[in-house]
Structure 1
């Protein structure tokens, strides 16, 4: 998606997401935070946890951005112990993943009770999503161009909330943004800036992108005061999981 984010609509979307991540991660406390994918956007820049990692699925993914990942790994088999991370951030990581369910299950495994996951996805039920579906129809007829990156599968907001609920996550907040029409022209995107104000008020669920913050709930556990736990970081070796082989390459360990 890196090339698309250099276009006018991509820069507009990226600016909204950067502001939203800055607002959301600043007050989340703990020891360990992990960003899965998208080296273009440093989602943990304004978070104050002492140990923060960027995980990518391919070693050269961040080379053009001079972004050095902490580790290269399969997102469905993270090399962290169970209940060891306080925050996991997925900026467009699910929709670009071949198995988003497995990635979410793995995020639930590595998060501590009351740990948080932040997910950002493109909204298929938006003007941008409708234009993308129309482009798919035109392409099947032999013409037309895609407006959004043709990578992965868009996941609907309510569908993702259902997935989270089945994994015992409780959605703390859901936000939509970027209501301007699907246009490539920066001039027309600027002229339609009033759509953002109107969209928040009149059609809030039809923004081009949505942002979910969810908390891992564990039955029978109630945290009072400061959570006690021994700081745990990256596992020295991938955690064995039944019927699953884990192959991870460590590029940098920051513990």
Structure 2
């Protein structure tokens, strides 16, 4: 049963905001970053948890064979390869996914760390996760802090610092591979085009920590046990006269 509009979750509302003039610009920059970070990622299954439409082209260019969208509401299913589930209770088998994309999923999750724990569970060893989120230390974060009406999108989300998210990933055994900063323009619809393009170039070079959006790619590391070499046979294992005691090792029989 589909949720009514007033009951729609924040992640569902985010999809509509991405179609606004300001949201379209943010989605464009994020989609370009996702495409770059997926360029050298391979595998069979990639799952996107949350907003679905804005990253379709970036996922289509991925070398991962099967791309699955996991919206959290039936009403937002628009692609054939879609399943519905909660971000903190993924309906996926453990160690079954090669890559996961979380576009602002943590910003609107009740328990971001539980979401990351579920992603760690379903990823195979050496699997990748790409996390996109709004940066609290930015002009966008400042507007959220001082603006009284926090019910509007995207200000109703929880803005985190990128190092904090990286800390959560590290606790789960992930290694951070890449972090990018995006969207250095203030959140004003009129500031677009060439002026914003110039600010993007300067921001990445001069003040990368102040980007309104962070994009993190991390890899799931699994500690492997070092095999212990078998001990050499003791002298007592040899029979009198130099004959060797029979053994079944290596014969293929129990």
TM-score normalised by L of structure 2: 0.77
Bigger RCO (CA 8 Å, 6+ sep): 1
| Rounded Cα–Cα distance in structure 2 between residues aligned with 1:69 and 1:105 | 24
Match for residue 180 of structure 1 among 171, 177, 185: 185
Residue of structure 2 in register with 1:61 after alignment: 76
Instruction: Check conservation: 2:67, 2:81, Cα contact below 8 A.
Output: no
Deviations 1:127-159 (A, max 9, x none): 1111121103xx4xxxxx878523331221111
The 5 A counterparts of 1:51-130 are 51-62=66-77, 66-68=78-80, 70-130=82-142
TM-fit CA distance, 1:90: 0.6
Residue of structure 2 in register with 1:152 after alignment: 157
Q: Is 1:27 the equivalent of 2:31? A: no
SS class of match (2:91)? coil
Instruction: Check conservation: 2:97, 2:123, Cα contact below 8 A.
Output: yes
Instruction: Check conservation: 1:177, 1:196, Cα contact below 8 A.
Output: yes
- Bigger helix fraction: 2
Unaligned runs of 5+ in 1: 140-144, 223-255
Residue of structure 1 in register with 2:61 after alignment: 46
Residue of structure 1 in register with 2:49 after alignment: 36
SS class of match (1:215)? strand
Instruction: Check conservation: 1:135, 1:146, Cα contact below 8 A.
Output: no
| Rounded Cα–Cα distance in structure 2 between residues aligned with 1:40 and 1:25 | 17
| Rounded Cα–Cα distance in structure 1 between residues aligned with 2:165 and 2:53 | 24
TM-fit CA distance, 1:221: 6.3
Between structure 1 and structure 2, the one with the greater Rg is: 2
Alpha-carbon RMSD across the aligned residues, in angstroms, is 2.0
Instruction: Check conservation: 1:131, 1:147, Cα contact below 8 A.
Output: no
Q: Is 1:189 the equivalent of 2:192? A: yes
Instruction: Check conservation: 1:91, 1:121, Cα contact below 8 A.
Output: yes
Residue of structure 1 in register with 2:209 after alignment: 205
Residue of structure 1 in register with 2:234 after alignment: none
| Rounded Cα–Cα distance in structure 2 between residues aligned with 1:70 and 1:182 | 32
Instruction: Check conservation: 2:135, 2:211, Cα contact below 8 A.
Output: yes
Instruction: Check conservation: 1:35, 1:44, Cα contact below 8 A.
Output: no
Distance 1:70 1:7, change over 3 A: closer
Unaligned runs of 5+ in 2: 1-13, 227-254
Deviations 1:152-174 (A, max 9, x none): 31221111011001001000010
TM-fit CA distance, 1:197: 1.3
TM-fit CA distance, 1:181: 2.1
Q: Paired residues, what number?
A: 210
Consecutive aligned runs of 4 or more in structure 1 exceeding 6 Å deviation: none
TM-fit CA distance, 1:11: 1.4
Distance 1:25 1:125, change over 3 A: same
TM-fit CA distance, 1:79: 2.1
